[in-house]
C-alpha cells in the first residue's frame, strides 16, 4: 500500500515523513504493529511480512505459531515496545534508522489500524457494502484481537476457567441506535436471554455494608445495614466525628431544594458543571469531614471519586444492587433518572464474545460454531 500527501503538505508534515511512500512492511516496522488479523488475505503473505520485518523480540513478545493469547498470563496490555517507535518519531531519530521499504505487491481495499471492537466493526460494515470479495487488512500492536474486550482463560483443577480481562457489559442495549441494535441481531446476540440466565436476586439475602478502612478513617471497621438501617443507627457505629455523622444523616433524610430559583433545566445544567463534592459542600453545606464517606461511591462506574464526577452524573448513576444512594437530590426537583434496564447483559468473557462473533462472521473457520452460546467456549484458531 502507499500513503502520500498532496503537494500542499506543510513543512511539519514533511518532517514527519508524510510525503514518503509507505509499503506495508515499512508500516509494520515503523509503527511497531503486530498482525491482529487479516480479513480475507493470504496467511502466507502475512507470514512473509512478519519474517521480513526484522522486528525485535520485544515488538512481538508472543510469536510462536502455538501461542494462544487468551491463555497467556501476566500483563497483556501495552508492553514497552509499543511506544518505542512513537518515541523515535518524537525524538527525530526514526527516519535515519527506519527500515528500507520493500514491495510485497499486495493490495487491499481497506486497511484498518486497530483490531478492537471498533476496528472489527469497521471491517464488518465495509464488507457488507463492498461484498465478501473485498480484501481487508486489520493491524494491531497487541497479540490478540478485541482491544479492551479482552478474554482470559485459566486452567485450574483440569478445567478451563473463563473470565473477562477488559470490558464486561453490553450496557443498556434497549437505548442503542438502530445500527447498533441491527449489528447485535446480525451477530446472533439476543439480549433477552440474559434475563433468564442472570440471577438478579443473588445478593438479596446478603445484606449491605460499608467498610471503613484504617488509611482513610483511622481504623478498620465493617458496618452492616448501609441504606437499610436508620441513618443515626448505622452511622453510630461508624468511625466518624459527631459532626460528620450528623451531616451525612441530614443530607440523606431532609428534603430541601438546594438550588432555589432555578428552572429544572437550569438546575440540571448547573449540576452538570460542578462536581458532586462541590454540590455537597458548597450548596448542601456538608462538612468537609464527611466527604471521605462518599468519595469512593463512583469508583465502580467511573473509576474516579466524587471530586472528579459531576453531580448530575452521580444523580443518574445509583447502584445496581441499590446499596449505594447519592443523597441531597430528593428536594431539588430535577426529574427522575429512570433505569430502564438492569446491568445484566454480559457474556462470561465480557465483550470478548462480541469481538469473537465479529471475527467469526468474517472468518468462519477462525471461531467454530453457529450462535451466541457456542462462541463462549469455542477456542479461536489464531492461524
Q: CA-CA distance, 259 to 370, in Å (whole number)?
A: 55
Contact 61, 34 (CB under 8 A): no
Counted domains in the chain: 2
Same domain for 142 and 15? yes
Tell me, what's the pLDDT at 145?
94
pLDDT per residue over 198-255, tens digit each?
888 877 778 889 999 999 999 999 999 998 899 999 999 999 999 999 999 999 999 9
Burial of 88 (0-12, 13-18, 19+ CB in 10 A): middle
What secondary structure letter does DSSP report for 237?
A: T
In this predicted structure, the answer to whether residue 338 has a pLDDT above a threshold of 60 is no
pTM of the model: 0.68
Task: Give the per-residue pLDDT at 205.
Answer: 79
Q: Are residues 54 and 142 in the same domain?
A: yes
Verify that 116 and 211 share a domain, yes or no. no
- Residue 38 inside a domain? The answer is yes
d(CA 147, CA 108): 22
Q: What is the pLDDT of residues 255-287, one digit of tens each?
A: 999 999 999 999 999 999 999 999 999 999 999
Q: Give the confidence band of 191 by pLDDT, cuts at 50, 70, 90.
A: very high
CA distance 279 to 259: 10
**In the block, residue with C-alpha cell 439480549:** 191
Instruction: Confirm whether 227 is domain-assigned.
Output: yes
Could you give the CA distance from residue 84 to residue 32 in angstroms, rounded to a whole number?
8
Lay out the sheet containing 110-113: strands in order across. 34-39, 136-140, 110-113
Q: Is 216 left (phi over 0), alpha (psi -120 to 50) or beta?
A: alpha
Q: 152, 49 in Cβ contact below 8 A? A: no
The average pLDDT across 79-96 equals 82
Q: What pLDDT band is residue 335 in, cutting at 50, 70 and 90?
A: confident
- Same domain assignment for residues 48 and 128: yes
- Name 179's Cβ contacts closer than 8 Å, sequence gap at least 6: none
- H helix or E strand, kind and range, residue 212: strand 209-212
Residues 143 and 216 in one domain: no
**Per-residue confidence (pLDDT) for residue 84, from 0 to 100:** 83
- Residue 135 has φ and ψ, to the nearest 5°, of -95, 120
Are residues 138 and 47 both part of a single domain?
yes
SS3 90: helix
Looking at 279, 302, 317, the residue that finishes a domain is 317
Q: Which of 122-131, 311-320, 325-334 has the lowest mean pLDDT?
A: 311-320
Q: What's the pLDDT at 284?
A: 97
143 and 19 together in one domain: yes
Domain end marker among 116, 131, 147: 147
Burial of 173 (0-12, 13-18, 19+ CB in 10 A): middle
- Whether 141 and 210 map to the same domain: the answer is no
- Which pLDDT belongs to residue 16? 54
Q: What is the pLDDT of residue 5?
A: 41
| 266, 289, 317 - which closes a domain | 317
Higher pLDDT, 49 or 375: 375
Residue given cell 464526577 in the structure block: 309
Residues 138 and 240 placed together within one structural domain of the fold: no
pLDDT at residue 3 above 60?
no
Q: What is the pLDDT of residue 105?
A: 86
300 versus 368: which is more confidently predicted? 368
| Mean model confidence pLDDT for the chain | 83
Please give the pLDDT value at position 199: 86
In this prediction, residue 321 carries a pLDDT of 60
Q: Answer whether residue 209 is part of any domain.
A: yes
- Residue 135: pLDDT band by 50, 70, 90 thresholds? very high
| pLDDT tens per residue, range 313-331 | 999 886 666 667 899 999 9
Higher-confidence residue: 117 or 27?
117
Q: How confident is the model at residue 288 (pLDDT cuts 50, 70, 90)?
A: very high
Tell me, yes or no, whether 125 lies in a domain: yes
Report the candidate in 28, 68, 152 with the shortest Cα–Cα distance to residue 366.
68
- pLDDT given for residue 116 in this prediction: 96
For the record, the C-alpha cell of 80 comes out as 514497552
Cα gap 290→308, rounded to integer Å: 17
Task: Please report the pLDDT score of residue 56 as a whole number.
Answer: 46
**Torsion 242-244-247-253 (CA) sign:** negative
Please, how many CA atoms are within 13 Å of residue 76, restricted to the half-sphere of its CB? 22
The residue with greater pLDDT, 162 or 53, is 162
Mention every residue, 6+ apart, whose C-beta is less than 8 A from residue 31: 85, 113, 141
Domain that holds residue 76: 11-147
pLDDT for position 98? 77
Task: Please say whether the beta carbons of 377 and 368 come within 8 A.
Answer: no
- Is 333 a member of any domain? no
**pLDDT value at 29 more than 50:** no
- Residue 144 or residue 100, greater confidence: 144
Give, to the nearest 10 degrees, the angle between helix 24-31 and helix 43-52.
Answer: 50
Stated as kind and residue range, the H or E segment containing 159 is strand 159-164
Residue 174 lies in a domain: no
In a domain, 173, yes or no: no
What's the pLDDT score for residue 101? 77
* Position 39 pLDDT exceeds 50: no
In a domain, 381, yes or no: no
pLDDT at 1 over 70: no
Same domain? For 216 and 94 the reply is no
Distance CA 125, CA 118 (A): 10
- The answer to whether the beta carbons of residues 188 and 360 sit under 8 Å apart is no
Average pLDDT over residues 8-28: 56
- E strands, 241-360, are none
Amino acid at each position: 500500500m502507499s500513503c502520500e500527501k498532496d503537494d500542499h503538505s506543510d513543512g511539519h508534515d514533511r518532517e514527519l515523513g508524510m510525503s514518503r511512500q509507505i509499503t506495508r512492511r515499512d508500516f509494520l516496522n515503523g509503527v511497531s504493529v503486530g498482525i491482529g488479523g487479516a480479513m480475507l488475505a493470504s496467511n502466507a503473505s502475512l507470514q512473509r511480512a512478519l519474517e521480513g520485518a526484522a522486528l525485535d523480540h520485544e515488538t512481538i513478545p508472543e510469536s510462536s505459531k502455538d501461542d494462544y493469547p487468551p491463555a497467556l498470563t501476566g500483563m497483556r496490555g501495552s508492553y514497552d515496545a509499543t511506544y518505542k517507535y512513537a518515541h523515535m518519531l518524537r525524538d527525530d531519530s526514526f527516519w535515519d534508522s527506519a527500515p528500507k521499504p520493500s514491495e510485497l505487491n499486495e493490495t487491499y481495499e481497506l486497511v484498518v489500524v486497530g483490531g478492537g471492537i471498533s476496528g472489527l466493526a469497521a471491517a464488518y460494515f465495509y464488507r457488507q457494502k463492498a461484498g465478501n470479495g473485498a480484501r481487508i487488512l486489520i493491524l494491531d500492536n497487541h497479540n490478540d484481537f478485541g482491544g479492551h474486550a479482552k478474554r482470559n482463560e485459566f486452567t485450574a483443577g483440569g478445567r478451563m476457567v473463563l473470565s473477562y480481562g477488559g470490558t464486561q457489559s453490553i450496557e443498556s442495549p434497549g437505548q442503542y441506535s438502530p445500527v447498533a441494535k441491527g449489528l447485535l441481531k446480525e451477530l446472533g446476540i439476543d439480549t433477552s436471554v440474559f434475563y433468564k440466565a442472570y440471577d438478579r436476586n443473588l445478593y438479596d439475602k446478603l445484606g449491605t455494608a460499608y467498610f471503613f478502612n484504617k488509611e482513610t478513617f483511622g481504623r478498620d471497621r465493617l458496618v452492616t445495614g448501609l441504606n437499610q438501617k436508620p441513618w443515626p443507627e448505622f452511622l453510630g457505629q461508624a468511625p466518624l466525628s459527631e459532626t460528620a455523622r450528623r451531616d451525612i444523616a441530614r443530607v440523606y433524610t431532609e428534603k430541601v431544594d438546594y438550588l432555589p430559583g432555578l428552572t429544572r433545566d437550569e438546575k440540571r445544567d448547573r449540576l452538570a458543571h460542578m462536581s458532586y463534592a462541590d454540590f455537597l459542600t458548597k450548596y448542601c453545606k456538608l462538612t468537609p469531614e464527611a466527604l471521605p464517606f462518599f468519595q469512593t461511591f463512583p469508583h465502580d462506574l467511573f473509576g474516579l471519586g466524587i471530586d472528579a464526577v459531576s453531580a448530575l452524573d452521580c444523580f443518574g448513576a445509583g447502584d445496581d444492587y441499590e446499596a449505594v444512594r447519592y443523597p441531597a437530590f430528593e428536594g431539588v426537583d430535577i426529574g427522575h433518572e429512570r433505569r430502564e434496564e438492569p446491568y445484566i447483559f454480559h457474556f462470561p468473557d465480557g465483550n470478548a464474545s462480541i469481538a469473537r462473533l465479529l471475527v467469526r462472521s468474517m472468518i468462519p473457520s477462525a471461531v467454530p460454531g453457529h450462535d451466541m452460546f457456542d462462541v463462549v467456549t469455542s477456542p479461536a484458531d489464531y492461524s
